[in-house]
Amino acid sequence: MQGICLLGATGSIGQSTLDIIAQHPEKFTLVNASANESVDKMAEICRRFKPLRVVMGSQQARDELAYKCQGLAISFEWGEEALDSIASDSAVDQVMAAIMGFAGLKPTLAGIRAGKRTLLANKESLVTAGKLFMDEVARHDVMLLPIDSEHNAIYQSLPQTSHGAHQQDVSKILLTASGGPFRSWTLDEMKFVTPEQACKHPNWSMGQKISIDSASLMNKGLELIEACWLFDVTPNQVDVVVHPESIIHSMVSYLDGSVIAQMGNPDMKIPIAYGMSWPNRIETSVPPLNLVDVARLNFESPDLMRFPNLKLASDAWFMGGTAMAVLNATNEIAVTAFLNRQIGFLDIARLNERVLMAANIVAVNDLDDVFEADRYSRQLALGMISSGNFS
Ligand code: NAD
Ligand code: MG
């Protein structure tokens, strides 16, 4: 029986993870869970899965939850320290890192430092603190399994050992992208799109932030950096390929000319189940892939003129140091501002570029450097938004 700590239980990845736990009660049990503010959703999870400890983002949310769940033998807690503590708890075997954004970094690291198998959905933590993050994974000999569908596909397509995948004889990584809802739109057409339009992903159902990132291709930018850290390559060894059907989830190209791809219906339960059951496989409720129904798989190059975020991510990688934390923080601010209708869709990439160029990029020696870059960039971005001084 594997004890799961589910960070971000009320989100989209959280829900899919709970589905897998519910389908395999003899293999997995939810021991700890967290959410930020969604009290009602969390109350339902508590009644259904009866975890031991639950952490909310604020005291008020904790109190409301405890009130709604009277009679259940659960420890209701709140705040950052409690979040670190449920990830490193002795009852936990696997941590599913499914918090949205930079807020996921500290608890994910807490689980890694406690030696827990880490299922990484929260790409922002790896993007911002990449080298420190991977050093901690190595130091604590942690099994790190990528849950992001592309990285999970790459992982599955790499040569396997009993300790995980390795990179031998690989020539390139082919990172697929759906292209998002505006793949074939002109810049003029994208100028006035609404948050509702941007959130409507053609193939995947996901949280709001990653949906906007998919529409602006920042998601692919973050994933490019994520792939570089995970698989020890540079952006020069990663080709982004737009594949609108999202059936091939990514590929690995080998020295001899072989290309290995992982395919499946676009449903996050597949990579989640893979991570939870590795090195074995377990059933999911995802319907089998019917290639005759799919009929055609298409591929094209990404357009960096219309989607500059992808280029910015590669630039940030080569700038190194805190550049990736700066880009991520700015993008989080930009996405929130777009969702609040304070800025337009195309302003997201504009703001990202402005802050990345204006920021003082320094080397990352410890976690404080990453947090300082995050704080500083948010402030810079918010200042530019309120003065309108970035387009
Ligand atoms: P979501 O918005 O649906 O859920 C986010 C979860 O994190 C919620 O439980 C929320 O309560 C919690 N949360 C949000 N802000 C928080 C904060 N400041 N402190 C503590 N908890 C907080 O997001 P999602 O779509 O499930 O994505 C989660 C992560 O997984 C993201 O990093 C995303 O990039 C990654 N991811 C998601 C998908 C997907 O299909 N949804 C695919 C690949 C990767
Ligand atoms: Mg992805």
Domain 309-387 coded CATH 1.10.1740.10: yes
**56-74: average pLDDT:** 98
Position 156 pLDDT exceeds 90: yes
CB 27 within 8 A of CB 20: no
Please give the pLDDT value at position 163: 82
ipTM for the whole complex = 0.99
CB 16 within 8 A of CB 268: yes
SS3 per residue for the chain: CEEEEEECCCCHHHHHHHHHHHHCCCCEEEEEEECCCCHHHHHHHHHHHCCCEEEECCHHHHHHHHHHCCCCCCEEEECHHHHHHHHHCCCCCEEEECCCCHHHHHHHHHHHHCCCEEEECCHHHHHHHHHHHHHHHHHCCCCEEECCHHHHHHHHHCCEECCEECCCCEEEEEEEECCCCCCCCCHHHHCCCCHHHHHCCCCCCCCHHHHHHHHHCHHHHHHHHHHHHHHCCCHHHEEEEECCCCCEEEEEEECCCCEEEEECCCCCHHHHHHHHHCCCCCCCCCCCCCHHHHCCCCCECCCCCCCCHHHHHHHHHHHCCCHHHHHHHHHHHHHHHHHCCCCCHHHHHHHHHHHHHHCCCCCCCCHHHHHHHHHHHHHHHHHHHHHCCCC
Could you tell me the pLDDT band of residue 161, with boundaries at 50, 70 and 90? confident
**308-336: average pLDDT:** 98
Please give the pLDDT value at position 389: 80
Please give the pLDDT value at position 391: 75
* CB-based neighbours (< 5 A) of ligand 2, an ion: 148-150
Closest to 225 measured CA to CA, from 348, 113, 317:
317
CB 1 within 8 A of CB 29: yes
Position 29 pLDDT exceeds 90: yes
* Start-end of CATH 1.10.1740.10 domains in the chain: 309-387
Measured from the Cα of 99, ligand 1's closest atom is 7
To test the pocket of ligand 1, the residue of 13, 38, 125, 178 to mutate (highest count of ligand atoms within 8 Å of its CB) is 13
**154-179: average pLDDT:** 92
Please give the pLDDT value at position 331: 98
Please give the pLDDT value at position 189: 96
* Start-end of CATH 3.40.50.720 domains in the chain: 2-121
Ligand nearest to the CA of 220: 2
Distance 99 CA to ligand 1 centre (A): 4
Ligand nearest to the CA of 204: 1
Mean pLDDT lowest for which of 158-172, 254-268, 359-373?
Answer: 158-172
Which tokens go with 43?
A: 């109350």
Rounded Cα distance, 213 and 217, in Å: 6
Please give the pLDDT value at position 227: 98
Average pLDDT, rounded, for the chain:
97
Among protein residues, the one with the nearest Cα to ligand 1's atom 32 is: 122
Position 205 pLDDT exceeds 90: no
Distance 21 CA to ligand 2 centre (A): 22
Position 316 pLDDT exceeds 80: yes
Peptide bond before 287: cis, by omega within 30 degrees of 0?
no
Position 221 pLDDT exceeds 90: yes
Please give the pLDDT value at position 390: 80
Say which CATH architecture domain 2-121 belongs to.
3-Layer(aba) Sandwich (3.40)
Distance 218 CA to ligand 2 centre (A): 11
Measured from the Cα of 222, ligand 1's closest atom is 34
Say whether 236 counts as a known binding-site residue. Answer: no
Position 202 pLDDT exceeds 90: no
Tens of pLDDT, residues 102-143: 999 999 999 999 999 999 999 999 999 999 999 999 999 999
Say whether 10 counts as a known binding-site residue. Answer: yes
Could you tell me the pLDDT band of residue 166, with boundaries at 50, 70 and 90? confident
Ligand nearest to the CA of 213: 1
Rounded Cα distance, 234 and 225, in Å: 8
Say whether 38 counts as a known binding-site residue. Answer: no
Q: Please report the sign of the dihedral spanned by the C-alpha atoms of residue 7, residue 9, residue 15, residue 21.
A: positive
Among protein residues, the one with the nearest Cα to ligand 1's atom 25 is: 207
Closest to 262 measured CA to CA, from 249, 279, 281, 274:
249
To test the pocket of ligand 1, the residue of 37, 46, 100, 371 to mutate (highest count of ligand atoms within 8 Å of its CB) is 100
Please give the pLDDT value at position 335: 98
